[in-house]
Amino acid sequence: PHSTELYEDAPSACWPIVYSPDYNITFMGLEKLHPFDAGKWGKVINFLKEEKLIADDLIVQAREATDEDLLVVHTRRYLNKLKWSFVVATITEIPPVAFLPNFVVQRKVLKPLRTQTGGTIMAGKLAVDRGWAINVGGGFHHCSSDKGGGFCAYADITLAIKFLFERVQGVSKATIIDLDAHQGNGHERDFMDDHRVYIMDVYNRYIYPGDGFAK
């Protein structure tokens, strides 16, 4: 039995675009210590609003993935590791995070990432219902079931696909097209022995993560 809150039907008036203001990570400027822009999701939405292309009530509101949802892919051991701030500091590559109490790390860093993960799972079902969908966040392609890295703490791509395989009738194959400059070693590790999933990954092999095993 799984909680299916992420699979509740979205309002029909909404576009299949999933987002929440909770995606954005802001905490005393610490987020600026990483080259990755941890507020970029809000900037995308604001740009689209300024151009009058979307409005708040046309967007599907993302919900946070629960532990129960995450355990569809993640090991309990891995989720427990995220209760150590220094582990999250290593994954997000923001060293000062190691010195913050974990309840702060959970609320300010991991909750936004869990909400984006929920958004990817929701977008998977929406895409089947509507023919297409976009999650403005997510795409954490360095995270696998038992290991995070490169700013990716949850395996949202693996989760979205496993949810579809397990809960939506008629979905028996998936293709991941990964065009980020870095190798998507997380989903590659997760689906290594799963012939239902075809992965096309275009990346610069000379930079992070250099995961020969996943390749």
Query: Which domains are assigned to the chain?
Result: 17-171 (3.40.800.20)
pLDDT of residue 2: 52
pLDDT in tens, 15-63: 999 999 999 998 777 777 777 788 899 999 999 999 999 999 999 999 9
Residues with pLDDT less than 50, the chain: 1
* Nearest C-alpha neighbor of 100 from the set 85, 111, 90: 85
pLDDT of residue 10: 93
**pTM for the structure as a whole:** 0.95
**Catalytic residue, candidates 142, 182, 187, 195:** 142
Q: Taking the chain, what is the end-to-end CA distance rounded to the nearest angstrom?
A: 34
DSSP string, 29-83: TGGGGSSS-TTHHHHHHHHHHHTTS--GGGSEEP-PPPHHHHTTTS-HHHHHHTT
Residue 74 is among the residues annotated as catalytic for this protein: no
pLDDT of residue 30: 73
What is the rounded CA–CA span in Å between residue 28 and residue 70? 28
- Cα distances from 151 to residues 43, 204, 208, in angstroms, run 19, 18, 12
